[in-house]
Amino acid sequence: MLVHVPAPSDPYIQGRDKTAELLAKKSEKKYITVMAVNNHPFSRGIVHIRSSDAKEKPMFEPRYLSHPLDLEILARDTPYLESVVKTEPFASLLKQGSRLPEGADPTTLEGANELVKERLLSTMHPARTCAMTPKELGGVVNDRLKVHDAKNLRVVDASVFPLEPLVIYEKRCMLWQRRPRTSSKMAGSHRLK
């Protein structure tokens, strides 16, 4: 049996409404977005099964900024981004004095902290929710993608990646899904369906 952790676009994931709200068009003016992205956060989210019904979607809580370093890193990137948009030739392409959100002051660390807390978005590439690590270290699956203490249950998706890739990783997932079949053949066990 293969277990699939849901795609981040599913509406039951907490915080989805905030993402749609932040990305909604607020006026007919033209805007660009300049942002910092922390692809290797220290914060760790959780995924929990809601019931014994395999069709019931799990509860997913990303716990963004639960580690203080994540806020610190993003807040310190914010003033740097301000300097980038004020540097030529970029600066001459932008209308001076207009920004979203209006009145935000990312030039101070306190202002940047508030801006990050208010405007934080996911890059929608969740990974590492089912760590391929020994059980005693908090792992969920072994190196053959079998779930610890379960019979014939494997996880074959991005949730077992040890680090979040810096790219969209559909092809990596497709290659990853071949791994248990290959390792099962090599081990002489039955092929997965």
List, by residue number, the catalytic residues. Answer: 125
Is there a contact between 148 and 135 (Cβ–Cβ < 8 Å)? yes
Cα separation, 164 vs 184, in Å, equals 26
Residue 78: Cβ-neighbour burial (10 angstroms; 0-12, 13-18, 19+): buried
Cα separation, 162 vs 97, in Å, equals 43
Residue 186 structure tokens: 């090599």
Cα separation, 187 vs 193, in Å, equals 16
